[in-house]
Structure 1
Amino acid sequence: MNSMNNYLTVSSVRSGSIASEMEIEPGDRILHINGSFIDDILDFQYQIADEQFTVFIQKINGEIWELDIEKEPGEDLGIELGQVSAQGLKRCRNNCVFCFVRQMPQGLRKSLYDKDDDYRLSVTQGSYITLSNLTEKDFLRILRLHISPLYLSVHAWNPAARKKLMKNSRAALLPEQIQRLVEGRITLHTQIVLVPGYNDGEILWDTVNHLAELYPSVQSVGVVPVGLTKFREGLPLLRTVTRKEAEMILEEGTKLQETLRQRTGKSLVYFSDEFYVLAGKKFPDRKLYDDFPQIENGIGMASKFQSELAKLWSQIPPKIAGKRIHLITGVSAASFFRSLAADLSFVQGLELIVHEIKNVFFGETVTVAGLLTAGDIAGQVGNIEGEEFLVPRVMLKADCHLFLDDYDIKWLERKINGKAVIVENKGLSFLQAIFGRDFGGADNE
């Protein structure tokens, strides 16, 4: 039996699930399954993959329950775990010159300062890892269990350039580490955070080309511009990507995508929406993004949103009862939504007001909506006299309605005297929020 000090804790149980029927509750401890140690979330997932198994649970009152479980193939238990392992997260050992955690002010919630670099979160949640903290035991486990896909922060293929960026001698081991994963038939999604002066120019295209050569093991290469806040005291002097640089990167990148499509049938290399905003270019057709492998990285969001709206456009009513709605967004997406508001101006009775919020909290070089705070929104929107305002889900903590500055949605409602409507980044959700009715006949997944 597993040590009583080695367990995973249940954080939530889905209503109507197997776990709910077995009376498993938040706070219960999972001790072992079929007599096997459950050191981390991967052990848990592998053990519950069987159709029949026995779980030993320690209840909050100290009782030990033995639960015999039968389930259908592929059916889950409905359990969310409170930690990735009994020993905690694998921490980042890098000191990247562009690390966003090191650019945050003091006083925010503790979890925002966690520098995880954990391969178990990569395969279960799509978190990007650097490989620089992996032990030989970790590598062997990844290969033995075929832990795939993994999401890798590459940044630079050149060992010296990567070491300079990440300030860790082990960062230089990347080429041989990736080759080892490729030989183990591990699927990889990779990203490059572009830092002018460090990994741009020849280094960028050398990195992209090396990764593209590893297709089909490497299934995507995402390129995103560095994000810099005003809290960089004691950190290296960096600058953001210029408009001219964004134009040149997209020009060269478009040519490469065309070549790769001929060779692989897909674009393979994708550039974040911010590059198109910086360059003042229209977002490309959604087909360029294939199956949107890096949409959570801000790559292809706008194109997907546009295509979803196009499918639903014919269902938009030409007239509604008088209604004014406020849309909250960041600087990057403001022109996109202003254009959309103009397109919707044919709807009689609708007034859509776009509020472009500048990021005073982190600094105005941070332009994405996901890093806006409630304080900045309240300070720039003012009193909207009880009207509705749309808040993109990306602004809020995943499991609750907290902004980055720890104010919740109710606080913001009071400060601006409005009624919040939280909207997912989908065309369907957007239109339903505006018109208060269902829109059918379109796949918006």
Structure 2
Amino acid sequence: MKHVSTYSVKIKDYRRVFKDTVTAYRQAVDYFIAVADKEWSYFQEVSSSMYRLRLMEEFAHRTAKRPSPKYCFEEAEKVFYKFPSYLRRAAINEALGKVSSYRSNLDNWEQSDVNLRGKPPACPRAGFIYPVLYRENMYKQSGESKAAIKVFINGTWNWIMVSLNKGDVDYIKHHCADSKECAPTLQKRGKEWFLDFPFEREIELKKVEPYAQRIVAVDLGINNACVCSVMTSDGTVMGREILTLSREKDRLNHCIGRIKKAQQHGNKRTPRLWASAKGINRHIAERTAAFILSVARQYESEVIVFEHLELNGKKRGSKKQRLHLWKARDVQTIVTHKAHVYGMRISRVNAWNTSRLAFDGSGRVERGVYEQNGEVKYNYSICVFPTGKTYNCDLNASYNIGARYYIREILKSLPETSRLDIQAKVPECTKRSTCTLSTLISLHTAMCA
């Protein structure tokens, strides 16, 4: 598979000089969007992106053989005079992509039921996009930490020399020596400007039969950052690792409390407090993802298994603020991107009842209230099985997550007759939302018999 990573290199010398370049690029995209929308009857007959680009240039680009096109791009705005050719083609491709998506959505809206239509999709705009600096035409490397960039400056397009952050350049040189470097993109974050370099590499993921796989089943919680269980196909738990991040959680709760207090006193907008909370939350997500990958590499696992979480809709309850800030999806995204670098696969299973059902198959657990030394205590991270056993709730969920993955993969690999025979012997494995670790053990026993 093709794996793409992007690394940002900070530009040290300039801050305000790139604003006109980005504005000119966005104006060019808006101009080509208007042309493509007007002449879409011609573009929809062409399927190839290369031929669409050439058709747009026939409509808008003036040459010696085509001195008066229908829409003369060079005369539309002052910044379009001597507009770099590669930057113009990047703007054309961006505009054609936006108009193609808009026309497709418009056709779907027109074909939908009249009672369910709502408002039609609006014509696209350039928005907050940034230009791609193609090599030789817009970007030239000059030494290890210097580069020449063509920008719109002093009323014309000219080259300027910029200095790049040496630490970023050394990091790319050390980590991306075996990858293909693509054209950078000029980006602004906050008040600083960066060059984002995409790197492509071919990665071969590990291909191992389900019976020989070793997986890491991950339960992402709100109380604990994550719980990882290393399992094999017969239900053996080879390792258990728990990450709490109690200090970071306390900092996040304290920051949320400050926001709540400010809102109670009439402060509806608190951008600095929210920026602090989001920064802490991002740090928790990165620490959690790094911990999961370290566990997977330590045990030489082939697959990392998560729950398929549905986090859309309005949050309710006393912990809705913490649930709203829960970075479970970001953690899964980071782990997916980095796990592919090491050849690991990512899988997701049904999340229903993973924490609610006991892994030993005894039934539904009770969370929160448990008895210790004759005293009744409350801890939402603790659950009590119907047999009276007290266990960590997130650890119990991670066992069930790993078991559901193995049950699905094993049944999927069997022929139809064998699968029906196994399901007759172990009927509880037919319903995926109620499978537990005991179901996997029973399945393994039936297959061995």
Instruction: Normalising by structure 1, report the TM-score.
Output: 0.22
Which has more radius of gyration? 2
> With structure 2 as the length reference, what TM-score do the two structures score?
0.22
Instruction: Determine which structure has greater relative contact order: mean sequence separation of CA pairs < 8 Å that are 6+ residues apart, divided by chain length.
Output: 2
- Of Structure 1 and Structure 2, the greater helix share is in 2
